[in-house]
Amino acid sequence: MSEVPKPRLAVFKFASCDGCQLSVLSLEEDLLVLGGKVDIAYFPEASSRMLDGPYDLGLVEGSVSTPEDVHRLSAVREQCGKLVSIGACATSGGIQALRNFIDLDVSAVYPSPEYIDTLSTSTPISEHVDVDFELWGCPIDKQQLALVLGDLLAGVKPRLPGSSVCIECKRRQRTCVLVARGEACLGPVTRTGCGAICPGMSRGCYGCFGPADASFPPGRSQANSDALALHFHEALKMDAADVVRHFRGIHGYMDPFKQTAAKWEDDG
């Protein structure tokens, strides 16, 4: 009786810092277990063994920032049975999506801009191809990654919490930095997943897991960013420019953060 082939896994990188791929490697012993259940066919960050597709499951880190990215991503989508975007860059464009709010002038950075072939925007994977699941975070949480991989390999649709960081703080019995200390915190509108690390260090959340209750597909969120922005302005005496700065960060291209920042930019 012939042996049943293992599902084939591939990990791809686009414009990013590699932090989410490192989170995959940080699975450590769990990664060894994963390696026993799947054939890691393509993962340049981890191995020089790079096999051609097709692949049963693909993980994509990074945003689309160049014309070449667009063509390569299309080929990746064709090769993967299921595709999961991982991390802030892949799910919302990341920090590099800040370019989307300005007129990009590469000559201000590069002495020979004629050699630079880039798009005027940096956009998430889902704006170009269909994705089967999105894993949030900057970087992603390795426990969530293990859960998602296990569910997908078992043929189960992954489910992750969409509640806010505030819920996580309450569970961990942490003092609210927004109420008790009057410090700006995006925890009320940011989805949990990080373990509320920043409030645990007595500093405000800066939204690295994106809008709370962000449902699939991207852009549908129930996070009341407008109410929090108004609290920043009225209770914390924050001017319009500071309000914009707080919402236009790692997930600044993601609704409703983008919409809230735009309103205060217009008011300012």
Q: What is the residue-wise DSSP string for 192-210?
A: S-S-SHHHHTTS----TT-
Number of domains observed in the structure of the chain: 2
Asked if residues 211 and 256 have their Cβ atoms less than 8 Å apart, the reply is: yes
Q: Are residues 95 and 15 in the same domain?
A: yes
State the residue range of the domain holding 200: 165-267
Q: What angle, 0 to 180 degrees and rounded to 10, lies between the N-to-C axes of helices 257-267 and 225-234?
A: 40
Does residue 159 form part of some domain? no
Name the band, by pLDDT with cuts 50, 70 and 90, for residue 153: confident
With tokens 């590469």, the residue in question is 106
Which DSSP symbol is given to 183? -
How is residue 69 written in tokens? 């990215």
Does residue 1 form part of some domain? no
Does residue 158 form part of some domain? no
Does pLDDT of 220 surpass 70? Answer: no
232 or 111, greater pLDDT = 232
Q: Are residues 127 and 184 in the same domain?
A: no
Domain closes at, from 153, 173, 194: 153
Q: Are residues 37 and 86 in the same domain?
A: yes
Q: What is the pLDDT of residues 44-97, one digit of tens each?
A: 998 888 999 999 999 999 999 999 999 999 999 999 999 999 999 999 999 999
Does residue 3 form part of some domain? no
Does residue 76 form part of some domain? yes
Q: Are residues 140 and 65 in the same domain?
A: yes
Q: What is the pLDDT of residues 113-152, one digit of tens each?
A: 888 888 989 999 999 999 999 999 999 998 899 899 989 9
Domain closes at, from 118, 153, 188: 153
Which pTM was predicted? Answer: 0.89
Does residue 44 form part of some domain? yes
Mean pLDDT of 231-257: 94
Does residue 160 form part of some domain? no
Q: Are residues 202 and 125 in the same domain?
A: no
Asked if residues 256 and 226 have their Cβ atoms less than 8 Å apart, the reply is: yes
Q: Are residues 114 and 190 in the same domain?
A: no
Helix (H) or strand (E) holding 79: helix 67-79
Q: Are residues 146 and 244 in the same domain?
A: no
Q: Are residues 149 and 173 in the same domain?
A: no
Domain closes at, from 133, 153, 173: 153
Q: What is the pLDDT of residues 30-49, one digit of tens each?
A: 776 776 788 899 999 988 88
